[in-house]
Amino acid sequence: MELKTTILDKAKPTFFEKHQNALYKSLEDKHTTVEVEEDPLGTRMILNMGPQHPATHGVLRLLLELDGERIIRNRLDIGYLHRGVEKIAENKTYQEFMPYTDRMDYLSPYSNNVALCLAVEKIAQIEVPERADYIRMIGCELARISSHLLYLGAMVMDTGAISFFIWTFRERERLYDIFDNFGGHRFTISHSRIGGVHNDLSPECLGMIKNFIDTFPDEIRDWKKLLNKNRIFYDRNLNVGRISYDEALALGVTGPNIRAVGVPYDIRKFDPYLQYDQVEFDVPTRLEGDNLARYFIRMEEMSESVRIIRQCLEKMPKGPIRTDNAKQAYPSKDEVYYSMEGMIHDFMMTDTGICPPEGAEAYHAIEAPKGELGFFIQSDGTGHPWRLKIKSPSFTNLQGLEKMLDGEMIADTVVMIGGVDPVMGDSDK
């Protein structure tokens, strides 16, 4: 049997032959091609999973070399959702660029907004009122719960329990309603502004948040009851997708995934931003580094987020929600509508934007739900960044995934992808 058959031999394109052949050729050339080298018995099979596969969490492509049900080698192929977000940033003012960050990690838009705003505030040295910090913190923690809920639903669904996805989505629906009241959007809220936030929380919204944090711990308790002692779920996750301490550190795995190997790295504790040094919370860590550890950590983090939100609501002072300096932030709508200067400043902010000093550089990272989300900005003195680099957590976490997949069963692939919890919009940017 001829082993080295190429795609070109097998595929017989019928439409646009030349075009299709060129496509196949380019696929062959990619670094993601897997060649079966030693296979005297002819038992190996190459399985191309994705980018259109129902369970790869977006458009992740996996190339698996299988021996029966076991994965011998694998390659990950990313980039199918590349939209050139970093390049777009160079042609936008800082404020204009913010809605694009919503679409990166689209499961926790608020964290991305805050990450960008904090980076810009750092480079342009903008002071933010304390109340805005607390509002941002509430938004970030709600986004964390929302993201972890999706992780939980999708990962448990990947193990085969479909109902769980719907149960977590019922809670996410409540979060969406809160965000609707929070900033006017359910999904891509873009509520944070450079220099503060767009609007204060309405009493109704505060009531909804209070109601949520009062009832949500009961839900977590119910889910734990259903999953923690479930033999099938436990066995499906135990020792699956194991990554060692050294490997995880070397590959730059972040977020809950690195806390699952025993590194208590949480930027909220290491380098507190916003008002995280004012609230009390614990950083859950585990030592096992497998999928089960990641599950436990995320469950604990949701409880910690509820704790943070409760403290934020207590500690939130009264006061302005955006900096009063019209050179640094949009003036309030009252000023825009009723004063000449306000209107001029509004135009200037939209047209030119905030201009950090020439040659300034800043990197600011926050603890997004999936790990360290950092924005590196280089300014040339204009309202547009000269260069904006995003360090996204999903991208680094996916590096770890390739290590985890080798030697596991094919049924574990989707569970591991779910466990690492990548979002392709975040990874491909």
Partner 1 sequence: MEAPIISSYIILGAALFVLLNSAAVCVYAERRIAAFIQNRVGPNRVGPFGLLQPIADVVKLIFKEDVTPSYGNRILHSVAPLIPVTTALMTVAVIPFGDGLFITDLNIGILYLLAIASLGVYGVTMAGWASNSKYSLLGGLRAAAQMLSYELPMGMAIASMVLFSMSLSLVDMVNAQIYWWGIFVNPIGFIIFTIAAFAEANRSPFDLVEAEQELVGGFHTEYSSMKFGMFFLAEYMHVVIGSMLITVFFLGGYHLPFAGYYAHLLPEAGTLAKAILDISVFGAKVAFMVFVFIWVRWTIPRFKYNQLMSLGWARLLPLSIANFVIIAFILMMIHEFF
Positions that interact with partner 1 (CB under 8 A)? 45, 47, 53-55, 69, 156-163, 166-167, 170, 230, 232-233, 235-236, 409-414
DSSP conformation class of 275: T
Angle between helices 109-124 and 130-158 (to 10 degrees): 140
Strands (E), 145-275: 192-193, 196-197
Q: Which is nearer to partner 1, 17 or 235 (CB)?
A: 235
User: Smallest distance, Å, CB 53 to partner 1?
Assistant: 7
Instruction: For Cα atoms 361, 367, 369, give the angle at the middle one, nearest 5 degrees.
Output: 135
**Least spacing, CB of residue 346 vs partner 1, in Å:** 45
Shortest distance, CB of residue 20 to partner 1, whole angstroms?
A: 14
A 10 A CB-CB count for 35 gives 9
Q: Which residue lies nearer to partner 1 by CB, 24 or 265?
A: 24
- By the 8 A CB rule, do 174 and 212 touch? yes
DSSP 8-state symbol, 48: E
Map tokens 């031999």 to a residue.
9
User: Tokens 């550890």 belong to which residue?
Assistant: 293
263-269 CB contacts, 8 Å cutoff, 24+ apart: 266/367, 267/365, 267/366, 267/367, 267/372, 268/366, 268/367
Name the minimum Å distance from CB 357 to partner 1.
51
45: left (phi over 0), alpha (psi -120 to 50) or beta: beta
Nearer to partner 1 by C-beta: 45 or 250?
45
Measured from the CB atom, the residue of 2 and 246 that comes closer to partner 1 is 2
Helices (H) and strands (E) in the chain, counts: 18, 8
Closest CB to partner 1 among residues 14, 318: 14
Comparison of 88 and 226: residue with beta carbon closer to partner 1: 226
Closest contact distance (angstroms) between CB of 227 and partner 1 is: 9
Report in angstroms how near the CB of residue 148 gets to partner 1 at its nearest: 19
Side-chain-side CA neighbours of 45 within 13 Å: the count stands at 10
- Would you say 27 or 47 has its CB closer to partner 1? 47
- Minimal distance in Å, beta carbon 418 to partner 1? 9
CB atoms within 10 A of CB 268: 20
Two tokens, residue 58: 């977006």
Minimal distance, residue 410 CB to partner 1, in Å: 6
What's the rounded Cα separation, in Å, for the pair 128 and 30? 47
Residues paired with 364 in a beta bridge: 375
Parallel/antiparallel/unpaired status of strands 196-197 and 385-391: unpaired
- Between 124 and 175, name the residue whose CB sits nearer to partner 1: 175
Task: List 332's β-bridge partners, or say none.
Answer: none
> What is the rounded distance in angstroms from the CA atom of residue 53 to the CA atom of residue 204?
41
* Minimum gap (Å) between residue 26 Cβ and partner 1: 22
- Pick the closer one to partner 1 by CB: 83 or 170: 170
Output the smallest distance, CB 291 to partner 1, in A: 12
Distance from C-alpha of 371 to C-alpha of 258, rounded to nearest angstrom: 9
DSSP for 301-320, please give it. HHHHHHHHHHHHHHHPPPS-
Nearer residue to partner 1 within complex by CB, 74 or 328: 74
Query: What's the min distance (Å) between Cβ of 156 and partner 1?
Result: 7
Q: 159 vs 192, which CB is nearer to partner 1?
A: 159
Neighbours of 236 (CB within 10 A): 21
